[in-house]
Amino acid sequence: MKHTQIQPRHSTSGFTLVEMILVLAIVALLVGAAVVNFGGVLEGGKKTTSKGHISGIISALRAYEVDNMFLPTTQQGLSALVEKPSGRPAPQSWSAKLKKLPIDPWGNPYHYRRPGTKDKGGFDVYSAGPDGVPDNADDIGSWDI
């Protein structure tokens, strides 16, 4: 009997270092593009959150108005919704309309103005928006709801 010796085959398939670096660079570009696009989604989410807070504040202001027969003044501000207002007599049955005042998604307090500049017969409740500067184009307010 004759034995045939089998020679092991050397595989030449695989990726070179240059090909691996090229693939990693393409993946990094795709991840970078996704992160940039995701940033826009986050900003849209912050605006939606802000509108939700404003709706809640408006509801609390309406409840305050029903109980007191008037709205807080600009000077009393939104704090009248969480603490007994001073300056005007409050009814004995006064109760807080909010447990605490929300902070907008950019870390700033909401603004209140009565009479409003956008709603002349009522009031404005608004966030100063991403730049934190009130009364400019990026404000998000009760007029957006």
Residue 92: exposure state from Cβ atoms within 10 A (0-12, 13-18, ≥19)? exposed
Q: β-strand 111-113 against 140-141: which pairing, if any?
A: unpaired
pTM of structure: 0.69
**Average pLDDT of the residues in 11-36:** 80
> Which residues face 127 on adjacent strands?
140
CB neighbours of residue 135 within 10 Å? 11
18 vs 113, which has greater pLDDT?
A: 113
CATH level 3 topology of 29-144? Glycoprotein, Type 4 Pilin (3.30.700)
Phi then psi for residue 4, to 5 deg, are -105, 130
Contact (Cβ atoms closer than 8 angstroms) between residue 127 and residue 144 = no
Q: Where are the domains positioned within the chain?
A: 29-144
% of the chain exceeding 70 in pLDDT: 79
Average pLDDT over residues 71-77: 91
